[in-house]
Structure 1
């Protein structure tokens, strides 16, 4: 269904190279990001109480094409359950004839190419048994230059956020399997015969109406899928918000300009252009920004009320994850889980 090699080729071409740096500058950035990620492990452990062994996942400092390749591999794993269902239904050939693996490859490549110029870092839980940490050096250099912030401070700030995700998935061993189970659950709700039926019309109507922000996920989700997506939203908001709290609360101990970085970074998010905003909305990235905000508010509210040790009950089992509704009602989560 997807020509993954073509997707990587298209995505790498669209992503571009990023800012111009000398070989010496590039080597220095790579070394500093690796050191920052390694240093962050202990900082995250001390602040959160989550114990993740050092060196369980490789740290990869990549360029934009490297990020595209890594995420194409991740997409292959993540979409595996859906692909298997399509094969079981004996419909992939008909769908492939209608769409074509080159076309779907170009679409995936276009998505990856757009994102490859935006992402600063990412923990990839789909790689092997332990995942891997990706830090996109050109984008980090681009943003630190654009913001005019201290490069060493900004790089460590980014590393704190991304290393928190590695700690989350490593110290909480059920997290990765739980994420996979939710992906499989979504795949189980997909009917291959209607996967593409009316797709263009739904996209056009949703964009015109601005329904639910007009994201592609919202356009295609059935009631059963939305129920699963609400659970995933709660989980991902927790993970993103928790990482934001770590980077901002640990930051003042080791990053002198953390307040300046946060203020400028937040302002930059608000100042994106109209076309970029439309693409972000379509791809669900506006919703992802809300995940940072909602998740961080939830984490801070619970920790302020019961302390970090009690908050860490959230990692005990999947049933302790906050629902989408509980993100804005932390007392409800406290009553359900802690009382």
Structure 2
């Protein structure tokens, strides 16, 4: 197992144990021969490269070479390692704060060691669940490592999870070559967003750190949330249990945090909706069976899965992510129809031109504010 840092096993989370747990529990990928696996990896790399030109031409977004980031084709274990490294990076201020609150002394150190291992196991269980579901992911805050390189200017990398892509293309019974390109178009849009808009990464990181800095959560509350998720994963939820519980990201105590979370939700809706809009816009010209793929993929999203899967999706906030796709795509489509692609691209001018959560729901309000229009 690759260590993810010098002191990875200390503190509130045993990060190495999280990696070990997730990679041990994650489901095996679909059966493929060695030659087929090589061909899949090669094709995904080729599609990722061709997607650059398709996306940049359609969006009219000029990328900044100084902020370029790599594209990595990974397996499920590679996705786990990358995400643990990213979590460790972005959560460090919060975990340091929790460590300080726990206090020193032999008792505190012993409880910390035990708690860190418990949390590491529980985080690993959650990651093992997600690792078989993610097709691709742009890791905004990923630090570089020996086996997982990242952008030189502040990190960042695009991950394409090969076994998951193969699994879904087989499940949907669609043309594998078209499906792989279709996925790459969506993920390349995210890469383009961050390489063409260099301030976006720092803005998001600032918002997240502001949110974490406002957190006044007891360490046991975080452990309780992880245990609730782990209990769901183990199938211990009762069918009669109330489904109105909070997601892991909803441990929010202050008005300031709610305000920040609203801004973050709006940005994520924009980024996800923009990627869906671009994928559908480029698709017909370069993906012959895009109509069939899109229809089957929508049906797959709508059907969901088992009750256990649905409970976990709710707890982890994945249902909210699906709403972000829908709401964001409607926002982008409405704005482009009103002011064209160049008019829409004013969204990338500065943090002040990003849509608010209310404007995501009412695109005309964003157009009025940013384009200085008034309703007649």
TM bracket, shorter-chain basis? over 0.9
Partner of 1:48: 59
Deviates more, 1:229-238 or 1:47-56: 47-56
Show the 5 A alignment for 1:172-251.
172-192=197-217, 194-197=218-221, 200=224, 208-211=241-244, 214-251=246-283
Partner of 1:11: 22
Partner of 1:321: 354
Deviates more, 1:256-265 or 1:8-17: 8-17
Partner of 2:121: 106
Partners of 2:368 and 2:339 in 1: how far apart?
12
1:23 to 2, 27, 34: 34
2:178 to 137, 141, 153: 153
> Do the aligned partners of 2:252 and 2:258 also contact (CA within 8 Å) in 1?
no
The alignment's C-alpha RMSD in Å is 2.3
Cα distance change of structure 1 residues 306 and 131 upon mapping to structure 2, 3 Å threshold: same
> Do the aligned partners of 1:81 and 1:183 also contact (CA within 8 Å) in 2?
no
Deviations 1:287-306 (CA, angstroms, capped at 9, x unpaired): 00000000000000000011
Once the 2 structures are TM-superposed, how far is the Cα of residue 219 of structure 1 from its aligned partner? Answer: 4.8
Partners of 2:246 and 2:109 in 1: how far apart?
25
2:111 to 87, 97, 100: 97
1:309 to 342, 347, 353: 342
The size of the alignment, in residue pairs, is 335
Once the 2 structures are TM-superposed, how far is the Cα of residue 86 of structure 1 from its aligned partner? Answer: 3.1
Cα distance change of structure 1 residues 13 and 289 upon mapping to structure 2, 3 Å threshold: same
Show the 5 A alignment for 1:244-283.
244-271=276-303, 272-283=305-316
Partners of 2:30 and 2:260 in 1: how far apart?
40
Task: Provide the secondary structure at the position in 2 that maps to 1:61.
Answer: strand
Once the 2 structures are TM-superposed, how far is the Cα of residue 216 of structure 1 from its aligned partner? Answer: 2.4
> Do the aligned partners of 1:237 and 1:294 also contact (CA within 8 Å) in 2?
yes
Partners of 2:109 and 2:274 in 1: how far apart?
40
Task: Provide the secondary structure at the position in 1 that maps to 2:357.
Answer: coil
Once the 2 structures are TM-superposed, how far is the Cα of residue 252 of structure 1 from its aligned partner? Answer: 0.3
Partners of 1:226 and 1:89 in 2: how far apart?
23
1:297 to 310, 330, 334: 330
Deviations 1:39-95 (CA, angstroms, capped at 9, x unpaired): 001111101111125792111101000100000000011102212333455648749
Deviates more, 1:94-103 or 1:276-285: 94-103
* Structure that is richer in helix per residue: 1
Q: What's the TM-score once normalised by structure 2's chain length? A: 0.84
2:168 to 132, 140, 143: 143
Cα distance change of structure 1 residues 241 and 257 upon mapping to structure 2, 3 Å threshold: same
Partners of 1:199 and 1:105 in 2: how far apart?
10
Matched, 1:332 2:365: yes
Deviations 1:82-126 (CA, angstroms, capped at 9, x unpaired): 123334556487497166111110111111111100000001111
1:65 to 77, 81, 94: 77
1:126 to 141, 144, 148: 141
> Do the aligned partners of 1:298 and 1:328 also contact (CA within 8 Å) in 2?
yes
Partners of 2:269 and 2:104 in 1: how far apart?
34
